[in-house]
Homo-oligomer: A and B are copies of this chain.
Amino acid sequence: MSDRSQVDGDRVLADLNALRGIGAYKSGVHKPTFSEPHMRSLEWLVGRLLEAGLVPQIDGIGNVLGTTEKSGPKLLAGSHLESQDFAGWLDGPLGVVYALEAARVINPDPNVNGAVEVAAWCDEEGHFGHFLGSRSYVGALTEADIDAATDRNSGRTMRQALRDVGVAGRPRAVAEPGRHLGYLEAHIEQGETLESGGLKIGVVTSIVGIWQYRITFNGQQNHAGTTRMAARRDAGLALARFCVAIDDRFPESCGPRTVWTTGRITLNPGAPSIIPGSAEMLFQIRDDDPHVIDRLEDLLRSMAVQVGTDGRCTVEVERIRVGSPAIMDETFQHAIVAASGRFADGRCLRMPSGAGHDAQILATIMPAGMLFVPSIGGISHHWSENTADDDIVTGAEVFVEACRYLLPK
């Protein structure tokens, strides 16, 4: 088909399946950040980087970097290796293995002036925070941020976890100004736009921002048998009414692509015979337009007060994360389109990313680009998440070819 690219599709699939074998759960994986299978995946990558002639390191925040001493400009490429709980095998590893394959194919090529360097960013999935690894690399993560980070499930502190896995005290790798032309990341789409359009490659134009809120209703904890219905101040019921109000009212004020989600609800104390005295929810909104978010946040706050008052509860709306929408670099978009012309019959589409990715963090200090491959049925963050083998290989071809376009001859 072409005298360039030279991806070894079988090797790419074998590597991805090797990573799937570490922390396997059904057809997916369970690799929370700093779990044993996560750390084993990082060690696996260190081995592959060495074989590819790169100099590997696992830094003080759990980032893996494979650098080269080859002269010429460098392109940074990667993604992440930890997973959501009981989730898919490609979310993260796909981009890391593509980057590895690009380094294997391109770096030894005497016709390319420059090289690909590989990164696996720690905790993209946000077990301890959000984008802790890539934020550390761009210099946007303080020691105090690390002090404050805890595992959302176990409550283990980030400091303890870093000690447990043996990287505490190591230096944190930080981007060397001017070293990289930019950053390229591949990922599964996690939606059904490509599949439903019969397309093979998504060329990401922007990454939406994520605004996140902790909303807490406080009522009166009491006995579920002896407290008359009329006397209750049930924080859990107020929270349920709030969730329904959001679903009813947000559509009036949202943008065309806004999405919002209540991902976690906790009633306290959470016993069947106790009226919840407090109830907490984690809520997020995603959009690429901060004006839309401003409007929705105003609505959110006013509805919270109304529902709280109606249910004789107090309410606190705390914004715990502020979105940073990111624009992908035009040159990178062109490179992916051109590579798609050569290796995917031009079946590509420019599209925004509704999911957050490390590329949005890297984009704050260097040009960045992203490409997507199709997700079967649009399913993501679930163990059944999948992509056809042929589409994985096509994506690798396009990715490596885009790297060639971006590096000087």
A residues with CB within 8 A of B: 84-86, 125-126, 152-153, 189-192, 208, 210, 212, 220-229, 231, 234, 236-237, 239-241, 243-244, 247, 251, 257-267, 269-277, 282-284, 286, 353-356, 378-382
Contacts and interface: CB of A to CB of B under 8 A. Distances in A.
11 contacts: A85-B269, A190-B227, A221-B382, A222-B379, A223-B354, A223-B380, A224-B286, A227-B354, A229-B260, A240-B241, A262-B276
A381 B259 contact: no
Given A225-B354, A227-B378, 18 more contacts: A126-B271, A153-B270, A190-B227, A208-B225, A212-B272, A221-B381, A222-B378, A222-B379, A222-B382, A236-B265, A237-B247, A240-B240, A241-B247, A261-B273, A265-B265, A272-B282, A273-B284, A273-B355
A275 B223 CA distance: 32
B271 A84 contact: yes
A277 B126 contact: no
Nearest to A189: B226
B273 A223 contact: no
A228 B153 CA distance: 27
A223 B189 CA distance: 10
Given A223-B355, A229-B259, A267 B265 contact: yes
A224 B284 contact: yes
Given A191-B226, A210-B225, A244-B240, A270 B263 contact: yes
Nearest to A311: B247
Q: How many copies does the complex hold?
A: 2
Contacts of A247: 237, 240-241
A259 B224 contact: yes
A310 to B, nearest CB: 11
Residue from A225, A251, A355, A379 having most chain B Cβ neighbours under 10 A: A225
Contact of A240 (B220, B243, B276, B353): B243
A221 to B, nearest CB: 4
A379 B222 CA distance: 6
Nearest to A261: B224
Nearest first, the 5 A-B pairs at minimum CB distance are A191-B226, A240-B243, A223-B380, A224-B261, A225-B355
Contact of A267 (B223, B264, B272): B264
A84 B84 CA distance: 33
A372 to B, nearest CB: 10
A276 to B, nearest CB: 7
A230 to B, nearest CB: 10
A381 B273 contact: yes
A86 to B, nearest CB: 6
A269 B86 contact: yes
A272 B284 CA distance: 7
Given A231-B192, A270-B264, A222 B381 contact: yes
Contact of A259 (B192, B225, B266, B270): B225
